[in-house]
């Protein structure tokens, strides 16, 4: 099981939203805080990122910005430019004439489940800048190029292709970040865990077989380490014990299956490692404050978890 793909499948809800915007100097635009994760891609030209904190950053064609917590920011043609307040764009609509545009950007957001955000996402910096000019991450550049083409010249099937490309963009962004390693050089965090062959083997095993009766010994065997060495390394790097992560992942996966499938509770319980529906329901309620059946019913009604808990 590919851990990154599994993480994205669990935390994503709904389809990503996007808007292609053409800018003509002078211009400056503020983008407010938003739920989920935001992104900006410079499809043509250049501009400046004006973050809420820190120095302005020049962006060039092909640069990608990823904001895992949807932080507010501004873009402008000049770092000293006053910025306009947020305005509504036309998401995913056909491109309008851009005869005099200096810069074209793709802005958007991914809907994430805040209750089951994977700890991997917490390790990503508030503003992740992946410059095109460094020549790295060719898959990410290819995805940006495909997106630019589909948005500039919409053709039959674009309504299906664009969301798929946006999903690819998210995966390639997280892959690129994980390959960079931690910015502070520390030997901890998910970028380190995914790059550590021993820990990666253990994590892949958990994601491949979440219903298996995992023990620290069994996970250490997957990692090809002694029990003590594996437990120390996993806890130091990931920030929680191996079995604590197994439990957390099972509950996150259960929530996704309750949301996206019609599996009976007994089958779902077995899928995530519980011998009985009663044991699963007890663990789920302890984690989420609501029984799994009530949780599923609340999602079907479009109610939030607080309503289900109070009901």
127 has pLDDT over 90: yes
CA-CA-CA-CA torsion sign (288, 290, 292, 294): negative
- 265-298 pLDDT tens trace: 999 999 999 999 999 999 999 998 999 999 999 8
Its CATH class, for the domain covering 196-310, is: mainly alpha
The reported pLDDT for the residue numbered 249 is 93
Instruction: Give 220's pLDDT tier (boundaries 50, 70, 90).
Output: very high
Looking at residue 84, the DSSP 8-state letter turns out to be B
**Residue 90 has what pLDDT?**
42
Nearest to 233 by CA among 214, 219, 212: 219
Model confidence at 95, pLDDT cuts 50, 70, 90, reads very low
- Report the mean per-residue pLDDT for the chain: 86
Q: What was the pLDDT predicted at 87?
A: 57
Residue 15 contacts by C-beta under 8 Å, 6 or more apart in sequence?
111, 163, 166
User: Which 3 state secondary structure label does DSSP give 93?
Assistant: coil
Report the percent of the chain where pLDDT is more than 70: 89
Per the listing, tokens 């009901």 go with 311
- Asked if pLDDT for residue 12 goes beyond 90, the answer is no
Q: What are phi and psi of 30, to 5 degrees?
A: -95, 140
Least confident of 27-41, 79-93, 189-203, 243-257: 79-93
- Ranges of CATH 1.10.10.60 domains, the chain: 196-310
3-180: CATH topology: Jelly Rolls (2.60.120)
Query: Going by C-beta distance under 8 Å and a sequence separation of 6 or more, which residues neighbour residue 109?
Result: 16, 17, 34, 35, 36, 37, 38, 39, 70
Q: Say what the pLDDT of residue 223 is.
A: 97
* Stretch(es) of the chain classified as CATH 2.60.120.280: 3-180
Percent of the chain topping pLDDT 90: 50
Q: Single out the residue of 108, 250, 214, 83 nearest to residue 165, CA to CA.
A: 108
pLDDT digits (tens, 9 = 90+) for 46-60: 999 999 888 999 999
User: What per-residue confidence (pLDDT) applies to 307?
Assistant: 55
Q: How far apart, in Å, are the Cα atoms of 109 and each of 31, 157, 253, 269?
A: 11, 21, 23, 33
The pLDDT assigned to 96 comes to 43
Average pLDDT of the residues in 302-309: 57
């Amino acid at each position: 099981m590919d851990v990154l793909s599994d993480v994205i499948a669990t935390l994503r809800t709904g389809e990503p939203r996007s808007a292609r915007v053409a800018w003509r100097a002078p211009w400056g635009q503020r983008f407010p805080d938003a739920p989920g994760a935001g992104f900006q891609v410079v499809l043509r030209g250049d501009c400046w990122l004006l973050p809420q904190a820190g120095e302005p950053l020049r962006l060039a064609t092909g640069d990608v910005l990823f904001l895992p917590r949807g932080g507010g920011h501004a873009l402008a043609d000049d770092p000293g430019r006053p910025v306009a307040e947020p305005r509504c764009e036309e998401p995913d609509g056909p491109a309008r004439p851009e005869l005099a545009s200096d810069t074209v950007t793709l802005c958007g957001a991914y809907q994430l489940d805040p209750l089951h955000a994977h700890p991997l996402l917490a390790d990503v910096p508030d503003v992740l800048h992946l410059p095109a000019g460094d020549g790295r991450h060719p898959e990410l550049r290819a995805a940006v190029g495909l997106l630019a083409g589909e948005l500039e010249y919409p053709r039959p099937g674009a309504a299906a292709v664009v969301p798929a490309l946006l999903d690819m963009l998210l995966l390639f962004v997280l892959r690129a970040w994980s390959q960079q390693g931690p910015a502070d050089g520390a030997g901890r965090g998910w970028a380190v865990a995914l790059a550590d062959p021993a820990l990666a083997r253990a994590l892949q095993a958990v994601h491949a077989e979440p219903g298996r009766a995992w023990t620290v010994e069994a996970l250490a065997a997957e990692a090809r380490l002694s029990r003590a060495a594996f437990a120390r390394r996993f806890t130091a790097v990931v920030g929680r014990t191996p079995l604590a992560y197994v439990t957390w992942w099972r509950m996150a996966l259960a929530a996704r299956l309750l949301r996206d499938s019609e599996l009976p509770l007994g089958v779902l319980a077995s899928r995530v490692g519980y011998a009985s529906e009663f044991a699963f329901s007890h663990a789920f309620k302890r984690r989420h404050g609501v029984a799994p059946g009530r949780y599923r019913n609340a999602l079907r009604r479009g109610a939030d978890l607080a309503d289900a808990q109070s009901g």
